Amino acid sequence: MSLLRRLAQRLTRTRGALADGLSSLFRGGRPIDDELLSELERLLYTADLGPTATAVTAELKHLHGRGELHGEEDVRQALHAMLLKRMDQDGGEVDLDAHSPTVILVVGVNGSGKTTTIAKLAHRFQEAGKSVLLGAADTYRAAAADQLEIWAERNGAQIVRQHTDHADPAAVAFDAVSAGVAREVDVVLIDTAGRLHTQKNLMGELDKVRRVIDKCLPGAPHHTWLVLDGTNGQNAIQQARHFTDAVDVTGLIVAKLDGTARGGALFGIKESLGLPVRYVGTGEQLELLEVFEPEAFVDAIVCDGLETPSD
C-alpha cells in the first residue's frame, strides 16, 4: 500500500475534518459565498490549523473575489497548494550512511511517545538492513529500560543499559556510543527520560548528555529529534520551544496523529519552529511510523476519493 493510502487510512480524524468536511460543505451544490468560506474556516480550525486557518481563508476569499474559484474541486486544489507551500521542506529518510555509527538522541516531554518511537525507528532501520544499538538513558524510571530491553530482545537489536537505580544518563549514553563504535553498528538510538521545562536541572542534563556523546564520538549526536504528542495540536509549539531553547534540536517527530483531528497543527509547528518534521507516528504498533513526505501528508488530509484500496 502506498504511503499516501496508509496515511489516509490512519489520519482519519484530521482527514474527516478537512477532506470529508470539504465534501460536506458543497453537498447539495452550494455556491461559494462568504458563508461557505466562513464554514470552511471553522473546519480548518477544527483540524487545528490555528493562525494558518485565517491566512488560508483570506487567500481563498481573494481568489474567489478574482473569480478563480468555481466549485469544490477548485477550492480543494487551492487549499492543497496553499498548505503544501507552507510545508516546504525536503521529505524523505535521513542519510544513515554519512556517519559510522549515526547517533540519534531522542528527547521530549513525559509520555510524548519517545520510547515507542525509538522502537519503531529501530524496526524501520533494521528492515532497511541497518544494525541498531539502543542506549537506555532514561534512568529515572526503572521500567523505562525494561520497556526498551523487551523490545530489543524480541527484535534482535542490541541494548546498553544499567541495572542500578538513578544511574547517570550521560554515562549510559557514553557507554552506548562507545559500544556502538566498538561493535561497528550502523545506528545508535539514545532514549531519554521525559522532562518538563520547569525542571531546569533535567533540561540542563540534556546538554550534558550531548556534550558527553560528542566527547565519545566527535560530531555526535548527528541528530537530536524532539518527539511531540500530536494530540496536543498547537499547544505542542510552546512545549517544543522550551526544548529548542535548551538543546540543539535538529528535527521533529510528531507521534499519535492517528488519535486526533488536530493534525493540521503540523503546519504551525513546522512554521513556528523552523525545524523539519522527520516522521509521524500513526498508531501504537511497531510499523506505524511513516517518513514525513509533505505532499503525501497534504494529499492524505485534503484530497477526496482515497477510500478505495487500489494499491
The H or E element that residue 247 is part of is none
Nearer to Mg ion, 114 or 161 (CB): 114
Residue 163's SS3 state is coil
With CB cut-offs between 5 and 8 Å by kind, which of ligand GTP, Mg ion, none does residue 41 bind?
A: none
Q: Which long-range contacts (CB under 8 A, 24 or more apart) does 26-35 make?
A: 26/71, 26/72, 26/75, 32/64, 32/69, 32/70, 32/71, 32/75, 34/61
Residue 15 C-alpha cell reads as 482527514
Strand ranges of the sheet holding 158-160, from the earlier edge strand across to the other edge: 158-160, 132-137, 187-192, 102-107, 223-229, 251-255, 277-281, 289-291
Least distance to ligand GTP, CB of residue 247, Å? 16
Least distance to ligand GTP, CB of residue 282, Å? 6
* Of 61, 66, 23, 26, the residue nearest 41 (C-alpha): 61
Least distance to ligand GTP, CB of residue 274, Å? 23
Least distance to Mg ion, CB of residue 144, Å? 5
CA distance linking residue 262 with residue 199, whole number of Å: 27
**Could you tell me which stretch among 23-31, 114-122, 252-260, 280-288 binds Mg ion (CB under 5 A)?**
114-122
| Residue number closest to ligand GTP, CB atom | 194
Bridge partners of 229?
Answer: 255
Nearer to Mg ion, 117 or 234 (CB): 117
The H or E element that residue 253 is part of is strand 251-255
Least distance to ligand GTP, CB of residue 35, Å? 36
Nearer to ligand GTP, 111 or 156 (CB): 111
Nearer to Mg ion, 114 or 223 (CB): 114
Residue 191's SS3 state is strand
**Could you tell me which stretch among 34-42, 111-119, 124-132, 264-272 binds Mg ion (CB under 5 A)?**
111-119
**Could you tell me which stretch among 16-24, 113-121, 159-167, 291-299 binds Mg ion (CB under 5 A)?**
113-121
Nearer to ligand GTP, 174 or 279 (CB): 279
Nearer to ligand GTP, 176 or 255 (CB): 255
Cα 157 to chain centroid distance, Å, stands at 23
The burial of 303, by beta-carbon neighbours within 10 Å (0-12 exposed, 13-18 middle, 19 or more buried), is given as middle
The answer to whether residue 115 forms part of the interface with Mg ion (CB under 5 A) is yes
With CB cut-offs between 5 and 8 Å by kind, which of ligand GTP, Mg ion, none does residue 299 bind?
A: none
Residues in the site for ligand GTP, rule: CB under 6 A? 108, 110-116, 138, 144, 194, 255-256, 258-259, 281-284, 288
* Of 6, 66, 1, the residue nearest 257 (C-alpha): 6
> Which positions lie near Mg ion, rule CB under 5 A?
114-115
